[in-house]
A and B are shown apart, each in its own frame.
Chain A
């Protein structure tokens, strides 16, 4: 399994940890450090250690360029050199898009959280609360 992580947050790292006990996992990121944004939560070094102790092979400074049925092609972020990594499955840990079809049909309605722009739970809770308070304000 190849896990592709262009974000560096907790999602791809935790997916790799989940898969590692039973599968051969390769972790691909364009960054010099795996899970680079985990520094905010204090898990940067620990996550790197856990992945390596679990046998996850780290492919740092590598960009995912091509996926076939049996392999992925990655490109070195600095030299542009390419190489192949065998892969039966690729897990995309990349960015998401808002699921906003309902809102687009009724744009006058408030929306909150990932339907505005996919971010973290914090923004979802904050904007959910704001949307609810806006209803109260409207009623008043």
Chain B
């Protein structure tokens, strides 16, 4: 094993009493793996996989320090002593690989509601959070002391559970953040007003936690460098707080963050639309102000990028979260000189961030094993079958990868001259290009595993008969479906796929019809606006691109759309076409409207391309499976999951 070209990334670092073997941290993030407030076997397996994969440091998701803090269902109740056996299961699993693991502890303060706790939420001042919109109870001095004691008690539970350190989340969703920020701290007592007063609770917590964990464990503080809200904390105050934290003499490192989780989350877990390294100014500034090691975060997805940030002196550790969600072996592959084999994160936010917002367990669009580490696949009942996969989209490629891993001999046949299916088209929009890494990663895995991919082959029943495979997995995708109001001779009405593959080139006034609610309509609208078209999007929904909120793309889509003069019309159905016009119906009132349009571009539900599957099934003599859009057209995660399932079913 060699650090190769990553000299800085694979050098050790001391964090107080703990030494990490490299600079890659699996920083804290929600997983929704907890059950009834307790850590689970899934936590242990999930973290162990990243320790086995070579990470230098693991920091768990937050553990609550007080019963008044319960903003989402699957939060670990660290204040309850009964969590300790689960902690031990996690730390023992991680320590088997020689990797230290810290626990992040927190009270979310006013960034919560009482929905789960049935208690008033506690905050420095009665300010309603912009997301939860519940007025908080202003904590008194007795309650502040109770919070500080809760931190100490929870830290002690973590120490007894075997954690090597504690991280205090004071950055993007925390009562400490609430006290630090002038936007949410309106107090006039010793805990409000001056920055020294606003930081008082933080320093009390730091002292109490250090006393609870002793000198043998590390203590870190995560601070927000810019809340990105009106009247909030900015980098100058963050520097001063970092200096106070260092001066306490109790703290071993500083972690960083940007944004407020309940106001500007789209900048904390930025999608591919935000440039990598966008938050690097925060650790860079703090590192100049303090001597403590500083962690940098913010869409680090490539070891070379991480190496550069370290070499340039911006930070001492790099938080690689989504990169290791997608590929648990991120660090080991980089260290061994196989960085090209890393399954790069797409920053699509669909199955990680997106599932968190939906109260589901954390997964990954391109790694069907993420979130299922504790649920092993059944062993293959037989090996060595000759498997034909039809279609080299995400479903077909995943089926091929899994089938080869399970000992089968796999060939993929693709009709087009390139792999990827609709992913390839989606990624052709400039600001969606990283989505194409899904296919690049799958092709790399295929090449590494020895899957043969043949292009330009139209597969039909006769072809299958001639090839005589032992089994066929059909992954032929979806076909364009024209809406009922668009007759075949209406050549100015096209699908988004026709725009993306270049077979249609709309000009002038373009009406984009969004009946899917995701990137299909919005990305093509942007593409056409960039080409000089005057673009209007219409949707029967209440919001254009309604699912963009789930992936944290909504805010920046709205900003870009306004800059590109794209108009958005909601609550309207297309009911017919006129001469250079489109007739809409505003369904809440039933009122018709007419819109002038030279072209109409449809982002509407597609139809499964299932004929080959049905023909093969009808023969009755072929072992045939199907996966992805040819079952029912959905999104890429469904294709990947079903590709794996089909291969397992072999």
- Contact surface of A with B, Cβ cutoff 8 Å: 6-9, 32-33, 37, 44-45, 48-49, 52-53, 61, 76-79, 95-98, 107, 116-119, 123, 126
Contact = CB atoms under 8 A, between A and B. Distances in A.
B558 interface: yes
Interface residues of B, number: 24
B135 interface: yes
Closest 6 CB pairs of A and B: A49-B588, A78-B558, A52-B588, A117-B137, A95-B128, A79-B562
Interface in B106-129: 114, 118, 120-121, 126, 128
A84 to B, nearest CB: 19
B572 to A, nearest CB: 12
B589 interface: yes
B134 A119 contact: yes
Contacts of B120: 116-117, 119, 123
B559 A78 contact: yes
Contact of B126 (A53, A76, A98): A98
Contacts of B118: 123, 126
Contacts of B542: 32-33, 44-45, 48
Given A61-B558, A78-B555, A78-B559, A116 B589 contact: no
A123 B114 contact: yes
A96 B135 CA distance: 8
Given A33-B542, A116-B137, A118-B135, A48 B562 contact: no
A6 to B, nearest CB: 8
B588 A95 contact: no
Contacts of B140: 107
Interface string B532-557: 00000000001100000000001100
Nearest to B121: A117
A21 to B, nearest CB: 16
Interface of B: 114, 118, 120-121, 126, 128, 133-137, 140, 542-543, 554-555, 558-559, 562-563, 571, 586, 588-589
B188 to A, nearest CB: 13
Given A7-B133, A95-B133, 8 more contacts: A32-B542, A32-B554, A44-B542, A53-B588, A61-B558, A78-B562, A107-B140, A123-B118
Contacts of A123: 114, 118, 120
Contacts of B559: 78-79
A23 to B, nearest CB: 19
A76 B133 CA distance: 20
A111 to B, nearest CB: 10
A118 B135 CA distance: 6
Contact of B135 (A45, A95, A126): A95
A51 to B, nearest CB: 8
A130 B140 CA distance: 20
A97 B126 contact: yes
A138 to B, nearest CB: 18
B133 A48 contact: no
Contacts of B137: 116-117
Contacts of B133: 6-9, 37, 95
Contacts of A9: 133
Given A95-B128, A96-B135, A117-B120, A48 B588 contact: yes
B135 to A, nearest CB: 5
Nearest to A49: B588
Contacts of B114: 119, 123
A118 B126 CA distance: 9
Nearest to A78: B558
A53 B571 CA distance: 13
A33 B544 CA distance: 11
